[in-house]
Amino acid sequence: MSPSLDLPSRILPRVLIVSRRTVRKNKFVDFVGEYHLDLVVGYGAVPVIVPRVAGVHAMLDSFEPIHGVLLCEGEDIDPSLYDAGGDGIDGDALSPEQLEAVRRLHPSDAAVDHEKDSIELLLARRCLERSEKRLKQMGATVRNASGYMNRLKVSEEREAAARAHMAKMSVAQLASIAAFYRAMGNVCSEVLDAKLQPPSPTLHE
């Protein structure tokens, strides 16, 4: 006789989570962190994992009913999707030059997962159209995206102004500035090395 599972008498809400990709033993593996699965189950919902593989975009209807979507894990949002709606409102789309600037300013954070982002974007649109629940771990990141783009624009304007000013300077002036910053770089390196050294033991007689 099988043990009683004490199943609930009602259908529990289904929360969709798009998996993320990693490489294990030279193979791609899709997964969702146990922390988020425990979180969903702990609140009495059923986690439904959506694989981030090509072709799943056309199958989202088969994941119905959708009672909620948890946006979590993965890389930073692909900047090419900032204007994925194609409406061009408020200049959301980044130019190729701006995309390159993002990669140059943040080389360690340039990795993106376009497949995961595009699936989550479709699910997010469904939620918005239905006023469905959205569980956003990275809500602050999405909310602050416009602020980041404004800072990027200011940086570009400052760089353009600096280039225009330096174009009017003589070779001797530019060489002097370059030498100054090299010297300051050496000073910063020396001070930083000194601060990172462990303190010398104090000898007491």
Q: What is the pLDDT of residues 99-151, one digit of tens each?
A: 777 777 766 666 778 888 888 888 888 888 887 656 555 555 555 556 666 67
Domain assignments of the chain as residue spans, ordered by start = 14-165
For the chain, helix, strand, coil in percent to 5 are 50, 15, 35
Main-chain phi, psi angles of 2, to 5 degrees? -75, 145
How far apart are alpha carbons 38 and 18 in whole angstroms?
Answer: 15
Task: Place 47 in a pLDDT band, splitting at 50, 70 and 90.
Answer: very high
Q: Are 77 and 139 in contact (CB under 8 A)?
A: no
What predicted TM-score, i.e. pTM, was given to this entire model?
Answer: 0.53
Rounded distance between C-alpha atoms, residue 116 and residue 132, angstroms = 20
The stretch 163-173 carries a mean pLDDT of: 85
- Residue 78, CA distances (Å) to 4, 109, 116, 137, 152 in order: 47, 11, 10, 17, 16
